Amino acid sequence: MFWTTKDSLNIQGKEKTLVIKEKELTTLITALASVPSVLKTVDIPADSPLYPLLKTLREGEKMRSESAHQALMDVNARVGKITSITSIMEMIKIIDKQSTDINNMAAQAEEMSASGEQIAVTTSSAASFAQQALETATAGMQKIKEAISLVERSFSDYAETNQQVRDMLKHVQEIEAIVGIAEQI
């Protein structure tokens, strides 16, 4: 397959052919390499093959953000309750009752932290995959150019050989004419 524009890459898989605009791929790689919240600012058209990946990453970031916001709201509500208690004894009783919830919140915070790290690792892997795909596509384009050059040289060699055969046939005809004259004498 030949490309019609310089700003697009052709990545071939076992089942599908995927055409990715280099500008879109560069934009996504840049966003993924930085803070996940930058995903909100990435502008990739909905008809781009990279859009489902961007959408999935945005949804993951949104869920992480909403979960963090909810945890902060829960902490804020609990802090409000604790500070409104007038008696230290009442606070101790409430803290004792809420210790299970606090332990659960701590576990959730650890899980959220692990999820954030997992998103970062996934983002890094996606960026690495995209870079490898770009390198593979670039190498493929170079090999195609080399193949085209080889074919062009082959056609040139064929034309030269064809001309030499014609010249030789012309000389053979001249020799046959001379031999024919010599036989008549």
Q: Round to whole Å and give the CA distance between 29 and 44.
A: 12
| Domain definitions of the chain by residue range | 8-184
pLDDT in tens, 83-133: 765 566 676 777 777 787 878 888 888 888 877 788 888 888 888 888 888
Contact between residue 147 and residue 25 where contact means Cβ atoms under 8 Å apart: no
Q: Round to whole Å and give the CA distance between 48 and 43.
A: 10
Q: What are phi and psi of 102, to 5 degrees?
A: -65, -40
pLDDT of 6 strictly over 70: no
| Nearest C-alpha neighbor of 67 from the set 32, 35, 105, 101 | 105
Q: What is the 3-state secondary structure (H, E, C) of 113-131?
A: HHHHHHHHHHHHHHHHHHH
